[in-house]
Structure 1
């Protein structure tokens, strides 16, 4: 193949799947519908109910919005490839998918960082909470939590688009930066250096800030009463579970990217590569929906209203 002449890339992992691909398509479609329904319900309830227009709930809605954004960059293409006879994707579309999936992962960490800071202020500085976390400040932090990762991820993705591609076969279920870089026959050193720096600033730094927030929370809780500890634990537990699960799934994806095709069984490769796109978008709305009484009540009221309207509509 001529240097840099590649216009389409081939997703080789979808070949020779036989009829089992229809099983995967059905499971994937069900899962994607569940992700859409769960996260849209959370968004609707928090947006409609004025009582939930508080920093903690607005940040939860941002997590659901980010889940919808990230899965929209993966599932439609994935489901199409499962039932299609052709498994090619244009280089431009591949770079766009890479950008969406990477910014989804990075924004998840920045949003979790804001949630950790919100819990830190609420527990460690409760008397000053409403003066520190105002809606104006919150909206500015949310905008920064979106703009910062998008700006950072945009640079390595742009540099990747400048690399000449000398092969057209991707051995993953979706496009990512490392897979595209491996197809290049140009100088990879600049993009590898930039990618390392971006990984530190968009992944490691938010994780460090989250750990710092919870260390301070633990110190304060040690001085509090048993009732205070129980209340703090209840408000922090969903966030801790979300953070731990997402960190584990991202770690699995990063480790998997270092393996050569065929070194791991196909089933293991598929599961590890999709964890961060499947588990958090499903688990987060369920976790927050069941953990917080106010959200649970509002969801129940919303569903009750829908059933009543449907009944009288008939």
Structure 2
């Protein structure tokens, strides 16, 4: 009798679990990727024309300023050196991120319905995450360039040849594209139960949180990517600058001043950008009531606005060679000649 009861209990448990699994599969199979996703603009739509004009102004400023720096470096052979080439690719990345972000935002601000197609959302996720990640990897490569220049000046030209420069830039991009592509494949496989993105643009976490199934794999891989890019690259940059600082402390005041002049803009950019991105990564993990929604929006768009504007201003104006060439391009030859004589 005891064996019979055990058999009946096992059979009931098996039948129940089978029904539960089949029900779960049916439930999951009824969900797929929605064709349209809704973005959350909230109360900013009350002054949408003001924000539309502001977005357009920022976009034009970014295109003109970054385009000017890139053109100056491409046109003038005297600027085709490793440091300036890295600056040019940093500006190219800023243009790339702006093209992914601003047109979508501008169109949605002027639209009555704030929607984006699922494919468009995935494209924006890829673009935004590659832009942010490439920003950090290029800054890490630039730190290595400054390390070789300051700590090994006699071997600099032999180590940092143009071929090496383009290999480093290619490696920085491929490293990011490989990791982000895997991350995006893990996201695309997820069925979605909802269609409302809790932001004014698409990012990976906003899509993943709409999933109907367990997202542990996505969360773990997301942490690994954060560690591999947003933690590892700044650490490598910091190591380079510790070595530079050590050499500067043992050098003359003139050498120290020149080294700090070229390195300070880099440190400012990296510190601000990494702090902003880490804030954006951590903020969605907290309740939405921690900060007002408008402030959350403002904080979330800084990486796409401040960094692309900051690069031409810091590098294009701080580095004398680029500043002179840009002034000459815009016809300010008298100002350029005056600064050249100073």
The TM-score normalised by the length of structure 1 is 0.94
8 A Cα contact 1:171 1:261, kept in partner: no
* 1:58 paired to 2:85: yes
2:138 and 2:226 map into 1 onto residues whose CA distance is 16
1:285 to 309, 312, 317: 312
In structure 2, C-alpha distance between the alignment counterparts of 1:18 and 1:63, rounded to whole Å = 33
- Taking a change above 3 Å as real, the CA distance of residues 18 and 178 of structure 1, as seen in their structure-2 partners, is closer
Q: Which residue of 2 aligns with 1:112?
A: 139
Name structure 2 gaps, 5 residues minimum: 1-26, 335-342
Instruction: Work out whether residues 190 and 211 of structure 2, in 8 Å CA contact, stay in contact via their aligned partners in 1.
Output: yes
User: How far did 1:15 drift?
Assistant: 4.9
The 2-side partners of 1:54 and 1:81 are apart by: 41
Per the alignment, residue 32 of structure 2 pairs with 4
Structure 1 spans left out of the alignment, 5+ residues: 308-314
Match in the other structure for 1:312: none
Larger radius of gyration: 2
- Deviation track 1:170-211 (CA, whole Å, cap 9, x = no partner) reads 110100111111100112011111111111112211111001
Secondary structure at the counterpart of residue 74 of structure 1: helix
Runs of 4+ in structure 1 off by over 6 angstroms are: none
TM-score of the superposition, structure 2-length normalised? 0.86
User: 1:14–1:81: 8 Å Cα contact kept in structure 2?
Assistant: no
Can you list the C-alpha shifts for 1:238-272, whole angstroms capped at 9, x where unaligned? 11111111112112211222234444212211111
Equivalent positions of 1:295-310 (< 5 A) are 295-304=322-331
Equivalent residue runs for 1:177-216 within 5 Å:
177-216=204-243
2:126 aligns to what? Answer: 99
How does 1:43-82 map onto structure 2 within 5 Å? 43-82=70-109
Q: Could you tell me how far 1:163 is from its partner in structure 2?
A: 0.2
What's 2:159 paired with?
Answer: 132
SS at the partner of 2:330?
A: helix
Q: Per-residue displacement from partner, 1:198-246 (whole Å, max 9, x unpaired)?
A: 1111221111100100011111111111111111111111111111111
**Residues in 2 aligned to 1:35 and 1:5: alpha-carbon distance in whole angstroms:** 34
**Whole-Å separation in 2 of the counterparts to 1:244 and 1:254:** 16
Check whether the contact 1:256–1:273 (CA below 8 A) recurs between aligned residues: no
Give the length in aligned residue pairs. Answer: 306
Tell me if structure 2 keeps the 8 A contact 1:55–1:118. Answer: yes
* 2:294 match: 267
In the other structure, the counterpart of 1:169 is: 196
Measured in 1, the distance between the counterparts of 2:207 and 2:188 equals 9
Question: Is the 8 Å Cα contact of residues 151 and 244 (structure 2) preserved in structure 1?
Answer: yes
Q: Secondary structure at the match of 1:86?
A: coil
Q: Equivalent residue of 2:331, what SS?
A: helix
> Compared with structure 1, are the counterparts of its residues 252 and 135 closer, same or farther at alpha carbon in structure 2 (3 Å cutoff)?
same
Q: Is the 8 A contact 1:9 1:169 kept in 2?
A: yes
